[in-house]
Amino acid sequence: MSETPRCRVCDGPLREFIDFGRQPLSNRFPRPYQVEDEYFFTLSAGICESCTMVQLMREVPRDRMFNDEYPYLSSGSEVMREHFTEIAQRFLSTRLNRSDAFAVELGSNDGVMLKTLAEAGVRHLGIEPSESVAERARGRGVQVWTEFFEESTAEAILDAEGHADVVYAANTLCHIPYLHSVLEGIKTLLAPSGVFVFEDPYFADVVRHTAFDQIYDEHYYLFTARSVQAAAARYGLELVDVERLPVHGGEVRYTLAHAGAHTAAPGVAELISEEDALGLSRRETLDAFATKVAAVRDDLVRLLTRLNEQGKRVAAYGATAKSATVANYCGLGPDLVEFVCDTTEAKQGRLTPGSHIPVRPAEAFHTDVPDYALLFAWNHAEEIMAKEQEFRDAGGAWIRYIPDVNVL
């Protein structure tokens, strides 16, 4: 008899609720001659029956995901650039408005947030394991260490720079299976009144909108206020604030502090109450989610097959990491989706992970115009559709699959 999988946070039993089968690394875009060497794993998610933390059932080695060839750039979207500027300015006017204040960002990527702090003369440090994007940050005047953050990293930062007034992470903490070491490190690094602010996809929105493609190799955890509160308490930390965010299809910005250092905002209890009302940890809720996901898959494949039979050309927009889940779970390939357009140069001329759809520059969307565009980057729908209004004016139609399959 196989052993019951255990939660990485509290060691409670995990209950699997969805299985996407064989999946590739979501951000590893192979060249045509590299397809035989692709790494695959079984992607499934479960929920801890003790602390309610949602997590992947299997861990992909971090060195395979985050390395010198990592192609994602935080500054790739105008909306996200504005988002990071706003939070940096908020820190400058509150937590970092004193002399010799110190801020650390985990997963600082190309330095889009820390650049604002650097320009303001604030002591800062980015922790970024991917050398290629770390170099971009250094080019912006940002101080970066190229390594993974864990307890030993926090001790090294403390020795070199002292306690941090702010530790920030965006779309990073959910990537880290060894959450225990990170939170131990945060406990070590934070100043007595310091805060750890992080934002990640919100599991309630994943369920509410059937946003199943938020489940992929890099999203090891999908947080809720309740599960974050439980995890923080195990390490002498406390969830003191929450803020709903519209970016990336629905996120929450969580604020942790040393237990007792700050009074928790009323919004914390309110959000946990909302989660309880949604029944996010109930078996029937998660079974219904899995059923809806399967229906979206079937509807999308049915639509694309019909369009193909009608001789219509379909391309995709945005070679996103999360589209790997969609393409591979639905069995999409170049027969149904001719190509994907993306602005990231490091992805162009390559193939999508596992499904091997050619990735072409954004200009191809205008020079080789398809009849339909499958919106892989649905979380940037408003920005993209405004930018590509000519496509729709010329008779082109968008295909969305979140929360369900529809043609716009």
Model pLDDT, residue 1: 43
Q: Does the pLDDT of residue 67 top 60, yes or no?
A: no
Write out the E strands in 171-294.
Answer: 190-201, 221-222, 237-245, 251-258
Dihedral over Cα of 194, 199, 200, 201: its sign: positive
Fold entry, domain 284-407: Rossmann fold (3.40.50)
* Residue 40 · residue 100 · CB < 8 Å: no
Q: Is the pLDDT of residue 7 over 70?
A: yes
- Bridge partners (DSSP) of residue 85 are none
Helices (H), 214-313: 225-233, 266-278, 283-309
- pTM for this entry: 0.92
Alpha-carbon gap, residue 284 to 290, rounded angstroms: 10
pLDDT digits (tens, 9 = 90+) for 244-273: 998 878 899 999 999 999 999 999 999 999
Is 70 exceeded by the pLDDT of residue 235? yes
Question: Does residue 69 carry a pLDDT above 80?
Answer: no
Q: Predicted confidence band at 70 (pLDDT cuts at 50, 70, 90)?
A: low
Task: Give the residue from 311, 321, 307 showing the smallest Cα distance to 353.
Answer: 321
Q: What is the pLDDT of residue 383?
A: 87
Taking only the tens place, the pLDDT of each residue in 151-178 is: 999 999 999 999 999 999 999 999 999 9
Q: In CATH, which superfamily holds the domain spanning 74-283?
A: Vaccinia Virus protein VP39 (3.40.50.150)
**Residue 399 one-letter amino acid:** I
Residues of CATH 3.40.50.720 domain(s) within the chain? 284-407
Using one digit for the tens of pLDDT, what is the confidence trace for 94-138?
A: 999 999 999 999 999 889 999 999 999 999 999 998 888 899 999
Tens digits of residue pLDDT in 76-93: 668 888 999 999 999 999
Q: Is the pLDDT of residue 344 over 70?
A: yes
List alpha helices for 211-265, DSSP H.
Answer: 225-233
Q: Write the pLDDT tens digit of every residue in 37-64.
A: 899 999 999 999 999 999 999 998 776 7
Do the beta carbons of residue 232 and residue 183 sit within 8 Å?
Answer: yes
- In the chain, CATH 3.40.50.150 sits at 74-283
